[in-house]
């Protein structure tokens, strides 16, 4: 059970939220959107690897 | 005491999700998804041992392994569909969740059809012609 991954994703979320706020305050709306998009993409990459592991394991256990 | 770990991970994930929901909704979904995946993978490693015992029992009772694998496949489909549907429901997409459940039910029915046919054939064989 790797709980580090949950903390990593939460950290990415907090960081992108801060970037979003700072860039919005600076008047760079378009950059703030891109920052959020980048954070979501990185989190998606991490979750997708975990999802692939789960699907592999389910296929192995249940003969799917 | 693995249940303590499970509860701890679940609570940590919940707190982080609630914290992130205010500022960053998209990543909050990922946090809850990752928490669910970690817990699910852990539970799956335990289910594997139980299923090994079940297979051993079926082998000793000389039950056709085809029936056991069908039941196991149905269980797998149900687990996966429930997981996906719950994630969809949590994010407010009830319609997609319902479709996932519908597809899972249909897949289960397709898997169960050979068994139903076998039962019907044995019933027909019992009936006097």
Q: Quote the pLDDT of residue A3.
A: 87
Do A44 and B72 lie within an 8 Å CB cutoff? Answer: no
- Cα separation, A61 vs A41, in Å, equals 30
Do A9 and B51 lie within an 8 Å CB cutoff? Answer: no
Answer for the pair A32, A20: CB distance below 8 angstroms, yes or no.
Answer: yes
- Cα separation, A36 vs B44, in Å, equals 33
On whether any CB of chain A is under 8 Å from the CB of B13, the answer is: yes
Do A62 and B13 lie within an 8 Å CB cutoff? Answer: no
Do B37 and A40 lie within an 8 Å CB cutoff? Answer: no
ipTM rounded to 2 decimals = 0.87
On whether any CB of chain B is under 8 Å from the CB of A38, the answer is: no
Q: Which of B18, B24, B92, B33 is nearest to A38 (CA)?
A: B24
- Cα separation, B44 vs B32, in Å, equals 18
Q: Quote the pLDDT of residue B129.
A: 67
Answer for the pair B81, B101: CB distance below 8 angstroms, yes or no.
Answer: yes
Answer for the pair A59, A18: CB distance below 8 angstroms, yes or no.
Answer: no
> Is residue B11 over pLDDT 90?
yes
DSSP B45: H
Per-10-residue mean pLDDT of chain A, 64 residues long, equals 88 91 89 90 92 90 82
Counts of helices then strands in chain B (DSSP H, E)? 4, 0
Q: What is the per-residue pLDDT across B55-107, written as a single tens digit (0 to 9) for each?
A: 899 889 988 888 888 988 998 999 999 999 999 998 889 999 999 999 999 99
Per-chain mean pLDDT for chain B: 91
- Cα separation, B10 vs A27, in Å, equals 38
Quote the percentage of chain B above a pLDDT of 70: 99
Q: What is the per-residue pLDDT across B107-117, written as a single tens digit (0 to 9) for each?
A: 999 999 998 99
> Where are the domains positioned within chain A?
4-59
């Amino acid at each position: 059970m790797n709980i580090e991954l949950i903390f990593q994703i939460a950290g990415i979320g907090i960081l992108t939220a801060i970037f979003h706020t700072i860039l919005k305050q600076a008047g760079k709306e378009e950059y703030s959107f891109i920052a959020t998009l980048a954070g979501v993409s990185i989190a998606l990459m991490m979750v997708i690897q975990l999802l692939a592991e789960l699907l592999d394991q389910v296929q192995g256990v249940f003969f799917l | 005491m693995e249940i303590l770990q499970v509860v701890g991970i679940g609570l940590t994930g919940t707190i982080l999700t609630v914290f992130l929901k205010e500022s960053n909704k998209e990543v909050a979904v990922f946090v809850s998804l990752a928490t669910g995946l970690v817990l699910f993978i852990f539970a799956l490693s335990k289910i594997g041992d139980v299923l090994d015992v079940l297979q051993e029992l079926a082998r000793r009772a000389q039950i056709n392994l085809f029936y056991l694998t069908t039941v196991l496949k149905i269980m797998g489909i149900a687990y996966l569909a429930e997981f996906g549907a719950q994630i969809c429901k949590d994010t407010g997409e009830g319609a997609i969740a319902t479709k996932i459940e519908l597809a899972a039910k249909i897949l289960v029915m397709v898997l169960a059809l050979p068994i139903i046919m076998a039962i019907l054939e044995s019933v027909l064989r019992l009936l006097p012609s």
